[in-house]
Amino acid sequence: MRIAAAVLEEFIRDLFINVGAGPRQAEAVARHMVWCEMVERANFGIERIPVLVKRIKAGVLAADGDMIFEKIAPSIERLDAGGGFGFDAAERAMERAIDLAASNGVGIVGVRNSNFFGAGEFYVNMAAQRGMIGLALSNSFPKVVAHGGLKPVLGTNPFAFGAPRRNGDHLLFDMATSALAGSTVREHVERKTPLPEGLAIDEYGKPITDPAQAATGALLPFGGPKGFGLSLLVEILSGVITGAGVGDGVASLYNDFARSGNNGHFMLALDVKRWMSLDEYHARFEGLVSAIKTSGEDVLLPGE
């Protein structure tokens, strides 16, 4: 079944308004979900509606609350999301980071007291559309062990960046710092298919492939110590310095309906024009892209 994007966006917006969301937050959720559906990131699209509605009804998602910016330095601000939608908080944060970058060359906005923010590439695309390099990070509830550890201490902690391209087909990269994304694990549970080997362990540290066991076990960081280090960076920038929850201070989206998510995000925008003209940047970047694409057969860039 096919449906026009505008029709779907209006439907999602009205649905969330009807369960108590304010218009601004409902519009941000609808905009994000439809974008994800259109770029084939459906795991961050409409399939998230039921759990978000459940969280609103449980009183742990302040879908009509206030969000307040705090000035920290000329190019740095912090947003208290008031327990509202992470989609709206992260979008507002990147918008402000872009404005700060336009004035100062770089803009950084940390977010605290937020919730699940969806696909990081949505936010870095905002920066790329303005001719800026963007970075979007978020922490999440502990489901990933430290390298060599047994107990989950970090989230899947997504890391996304974007860089503008002359043709408008911007380079967007978005990944979980865990060996598997949480949404991938849920897909295996629903389909009753085994997890790939070597990506998850039980509570005793033994490798598992049964997705049902992942509920009491843990995911491994991707790339061992390398992924662990990157996940730790995400936790520091999005959790520690923003004042958001860290580790057990972040609630599970699907399994904890007693408290708000308390997620933190970190948004950065870098104005390329402060370094060189956009024409020079595009010439240099496209030269790099050409070298990559001709380095072998069927070499793909992120997103291709």
Q: In whole angstroms, give the CA distance from residue 95 to residue 106.
A: 12
Q: What is the DSSP string of 199-220?
A: SEE-TTS-B---GGGGGTSEEP
Q: 10: part of which helix (H) or strand (E)?
A: helix 5-18
In a domain, 35, yes or no: no
What is the domain count for the chain? 1
Q: What is the CATH number of the domain that holds 233?
A: 3.30.1370.60
Predicted confidence (pLDDT) per residue in 44-60, tens digit: 999 999 999 999 999 99
In a domain, 281, yes or no: no
Predicted confidence (pLDDT) per residue in 7-45, tens digit: 999 999 999 999 999 999 999 999 999 999 999 998 899
Q: What is the pLDDT of residue 194?
A: 87
In a domain, 53, yes or no: no
Q: What is the pLDDT of residue 191?
A: 83
In a domain, 190, yes or no: no
In a domain, 50, yes or no: no
Is the distance from CB of 136 to CB of 120 less than 8 angstroms? yes
Q: What is the pLDDT of residue 214?
A: 79
CB proximity list for 189: less than 8 A, separation 6 or greater: 211, 212, 214
Residues in the chain: 304
Is the pTM value of this prediction over 0.85? yes
Torsion sign across C-alpha atoms 38, 44, 49, 55 = negative
In a domain, 282, yes or no: no
Is the distance from CB of 162 to CB of 128 less than 8 angstroms? yes
CA dihedral 196→200→206→208, nearest 10 degrees, is -40
Q: Beta strand pairing status for 200-201 and 106-114?
A: unpaired
In a domain, 3, yes or no: no
Q: Over the chain (304 residues), what is each successive 10-residue block's mean pLDDT? A: 92 98 98 96 94 98 97 99 99 99 99 98 98 99 96 97 96 95 80 88 91 86 96 99 98 97 99 97 98 95 89
* Structural domain containing residue 124: 65-179+220-274
